[in-house]
Structure 1
Amino acid sequence: MKRVLVVDDAAFMRMALRSILEKCGFEVVGDADTGIKAVQQYKLLQPDIVTMDLTMPELNGIEAIKLIRAIDKNARIIVISSMGHEIQVREAIAAGAVSFIVKPFKEEIVKQQLLTISQANK
């Protein structure tokens, strides 16, 4: 079972993602509401996959991605954000994200992306 860390500053979004992930057979090992907490949780939990929002207090998602990738160059991070403009997508991918899902999302898209990423070699 793949272990996932869910990062989003909105509690309802973390709960929605948790529900989708658990339905797909993933284990949500933790969550974080800021970029700083995301990096701390990544170090502690060493999840297989991270879902990452971009707009968060203290440390944004792009910076958190960079810090996580500095810890683990093979970290698999999927950005799930309402900031879906081309520049943000490019920045996220350049920082090390493997995929980008725009909010509001369809549950099926999240399932498909997570299953694809989970089957890829780390």
Structure 2
Amino acid sequence: MEVLIVEDSVYMRAVIRTVVTKYGMTVVGEAKNGVEAIDMALELNPDLITVDNVLPDMLGLDILKSLQEENLKAKKIMISAVGDKITQSKAAKLGALAYIVKPFEPKQLTMILDEIFSHSLRKYA
């Protein structure tokens, strides 16, 4: 399983990378802004995309909308410090299968990966 991480924070990218790697996935790209995210998603066609909502050039919701318009089949998880119900609802309508509010415990992301993907992928508890 290949993952694209969309996150402008170096620290949060490292946290997400660590969790998905321990889960048994391969990080194929890391985007720091929306333009990079859309370009990389279309080029790499990953199985999973984690998307921050507040990026330097656009909102993650706009990224989700663009990817939905492109019919990209990747599963999407929104990971953002913006945790209001309206934003979460919009993300779900735009294809996000889960919404994690920062800061978060790595186990939260692992549990969501368990819900989305087969448990057999996970190498570590």
C-alpha distance in 2, partners of 1:34/1:98?
Answer: 21
Letter in 1 for 2:85: E
* 1:93 equivalenced with 2:81 (yes/no): no
Structure 2 unaligned spans of 5+? 119-125
Q: Who is 2:54 aligned against?
A: 55
SS at match of 2:91: helix
CA offset digits 1:19-64 (Å, max 9, x no partner): 1111111111101011111100001110000000000011210000
Identity of aligned residues (%): 33
C-alpha distance in 2, partners of 1:92/1:9?
Answer: 18
TM-score (norm 1): 0.91
C-alpha distance in 2, partners of 1:65/1:82?
Answer: 17
C-alpha distance in 1, partners of 2:59/2:9?
Answer: 14
C-alpha distance in 2, partners of 1:108/1:19?
Answer: 11
Give the deviation of 1:5 after TM superposition. 0.4
C-alpha distance in 2, partners of 1:28/1:75?
Answer: 14
Q: Who is 2:20 aligned against?
A: 21
Higher alpha-carbon deviation: 73-82 or 30-39: 73-82
Structure 1 unaligned spans of 5+? none
Q: Who is 1:37 aligned against?
A: 36
Aligned-CA RMSD value: 1.1
Give the deviation of 1:75 after TM superposition. 2.8
Letter in 2 for 1:74: K
Runs of 4+ residues deviating >4 angstroms? none
C-alpha distance in 2, partners of 1:15/1:72?
Answer: 28
Give the deviation of 1:11 after TM superposition. 1.1
* 1:76 equivalenced with 2:75 (yes/no): yes
Q: Does the Cα contact within 8 Å between 2:19 and 2:106 map onto a contact in 1?
A: yes
Give the deviation of 1:118 after TM superposition. 2.5
Letter in 2 for 1:86: K
TM-score (norm 2): 0.89
